[in-house]
Structure 1
Amino acid sequence: MNYSGIDLHSNNSVVSVIDETDRVVAEKRLPNELAKVLTFLAPWQAELAGVVIESTYNWYWLVDGLQAAGFVVHLANTTAIKKYDGLKHSGDETDARYLAHLLRLGILPTGTILPPQRRAVRDLARKRMQLVRSRTSHILAVENITARQFGKRITSNQVIRLDEETIKQMRLPEDVALALRANVAVITTLSAQIAIVEKRLQQKVAPDADYTLLTTVPGIGQTLATVILLEVGTIERFASAGNFASYARCVDSQRISNGKKKGEGNTKNGNPYLSWAFIEAANFALRYCAEAKRFYERKKGKTNTILARKALAHKLARACFHMLKEHKPFDMTRCFA
């Protein structure tokens, strides 16, 4: 049996094939062209236990292409892989061999490979977040302009409603007005695109029963339910509520020895989009859910506002896990007991 590892870069990849004794039987640096990678691996395909690819920003084309060609593909979780620090020499070839070596030993940390269609919808939700952040930066720029010119800010809602006539009535210096118009034009364009993306997302997620379940949770509306649903993928990949909460970055990262904290682990290990979604859900739950507010106040009395908010996010994450696992609506008593 053979094993393959691919060290993927922006414009080329190092492809290695090793045998049961870690002996390199084939290895080559190839351009990022699917046909050339498939041609190189073809002689070994029948004997390959699997191909390991790093979870880099540009893995879609390679994973999808190899799977379509009949290869068993594993996506390596790079944040969970730590090489021996005492190595005298390392490079792309040793990295590729190491991935194959971990697969051979059966200790390769892997990530989930979502189906291309599901992945595309998830990425569309991420695109919405990018557009919203960009729009927010332009809204703040307009607020800063008005603060400098008039000594006070206008609200974000007022910024979104600005038009040519309103800007003229401000009687701003010509260059300042031009700068403000540029921001307003971008805000208008971004708002239109965000509306288009949101409509598309609703068409995709609304028929899903899990989406309806998520909207029953305090603090989770259409936007957050969409993000959580698409980022989770399938709840069956999580063994427990604790694993899910950890993936959502809702738990502490600590190294404990002899009962004492010796440091922190990889705090960024997990899904940043889920982390954002559950913190936002906690913020909204504090406003509109009395039980969530009481839970938060109890925690705040023992710790501080930041940890109390994180504890509430953790509660909501665990509740969502049980809901999706059992296909039952949100249970207020069970969550805040």
Structure 2
Amino acid sequence: DQIILRRRLPNRLDRVLEELVPYRENIKGLVVESTYNWYWLVDGLIEAGFWVHLANTPAIVQYKGLKYTDDDSDARWLAKLLRLGLLPVGYIYPKEQRAIRDLLRKRGQLIRKRTAHLLSIQNIITRNRGQSYGANDVKKLTPELVEQLLPNQNISLAVKSNLMVMETLSEAIRKIEKTVETQVRPY
């Protein structure tokens, strides 16, 4: 468990490679955590000829005896798991496929937001009318029907606002789905 290099580096590939290249012959693999900005680092390290492992952090059980959990201790723990062959890894998608994967993640995010607006409408109707309103019923609402259901103009405006956002989200979701369908071969 001898540490050869311990250093915090800026998010610049040239600096990272400058530090690693002198140890290239001794490096059996590098572990990268899946943070919000890992693509550039993994791509650069792979292109430079390093064997890169993407840590599957949710699957990693932290050692109970660790007194500290910071970047330094996490790095040592990940290195130890890699050396022992116990590192749970995630799949590193090829660069060409990542944009589609990210687009599908965006679709999921938009669906969750649309669902939140649908639930908001259901709650407003239930709160003001004392009756539940199903998701399919909400999807059939028109501005005129909202005004009939909820005569108070402030309350109906709140629901109509949710409906407008839902429609915008639905349009974006449909556009993403059409785009993905043209790029993914059918199975």
Q: When the two structures are superposed, what TM-score results if normalisation uses the length of structure 1?
A: 0.49
Contact between 1:160 and 1:188, CA under 8 Å: does it hold in 2? no
Aligned to 2:170: 191
Separation (CA, whole Å) in 2 of partners of 1:82 and 1:167: 51
The letter for the 2-side match of 1:35 is: D
Cα distance, 1:57 vs. partner? 4.5
Aligned to 1:55: 34
Separation (CA, whole Å) in 2 of partners of 1:125 and 1:169: 37
SS of alignment partner, residue 4 of structure 2: strand
The letter for the 1-side match of 2:85 is: G
Aligned pairs for 1:79-158 (under 5 A) are 79-87=58-66, 91-158=70-137
1:233-271: CA deviations, max 9, x gaps? xxxxxxxxxxxxxxxxxxxxxxxxxxxxxxxxxxxxxxx
Separation (CA, whole Å) in 2 of partners of 1:91 and 1:148: 46
Separation (CA, whole Å) in 2 of partners of 1:99 and 1:125: 29
Contact between 2:29 and 2:50, CA under 8 Å: does it hold in 1? yes
The letter for the 2-side match of 1:41 is: L
Q: 1:91 to 1:198 in 2, by over 3 A?
A: closer
Structure 1 runs not aligned, ≥5 long: 1-21, 212-337
Cα distance, 1:26 vs. partner? 1.9
Aligned to 1:174: 153
Q: 1:147 to 1:83 in 2, by over 3 A?
A: closer
Q: How many percent identity over aligned positions?
A: 49
Structure with bigger strand share is: 1
Q: 1:174 to 1:38 in 2, by over 3 A?
A: same
The letter for the 2-side match of 1:78 is: T
1:116-162: CA deviations, max 9, x gaps? 22233223223222222221221122222223333334443342343
Tell me the matched-pair count: 187
Aligned pairs for 1:244-323 (under 5 A) are none
Moved over 4 A (4+): 87-91
Cα distance, 1:115 vs. partner? 1.1
Q: 1:44 to 1:141 in 2, by over 3 A?
A: same
Aligned to 1:29: 8
Separation (CA, whole Å) in 1 of partners of 2:127 and 2:58: 44
The letter for the 2-side match of 1:199 is: K
Cα distance, 1:113 vs. partner? 1.4
Separation (CA, whole Å) in 1 of partners of 2:141 and 2:33: 47
Q: 1:122 to 1:89 in 2, by over 3 A?
A: closer
Q: Pick one of 118, 126, 142 that aligns with 1:163.
A: 142
1:24-69: CA deviations, max 9, x gaps? 2222112333332222222223442221112344432321221122
**Greater CA drift, 46-55 or 163-172:** 163-172
Cα distance, 1:103 vs. partner? 2.7
Aligned to 1:248: none
SS of alignment partner, residue 125 of structure 1: helix
Contact between 1:160 and 1:187, CA under 8 Å: does it hold in 2? no
Structure 2 runs not aligned, ≥5 long: none
Aligned Cα RMSD in Å? 2.6
Q: 1:165 to 1:88 in 2, by over 3 A?
A: closer
Contact between 2:147 and 2:153, CA under 8 Å: does it hold in 1? no
Separation (CA, whole Å) in 2 of partners of 1:140 and 1:78: 32
SS of alignment partner, residue 129 of structure 1: helix
Aligned to 2:48: 69
Separation (CA, whole Å) in 2 of partners of 1:162 and 1:102: 55
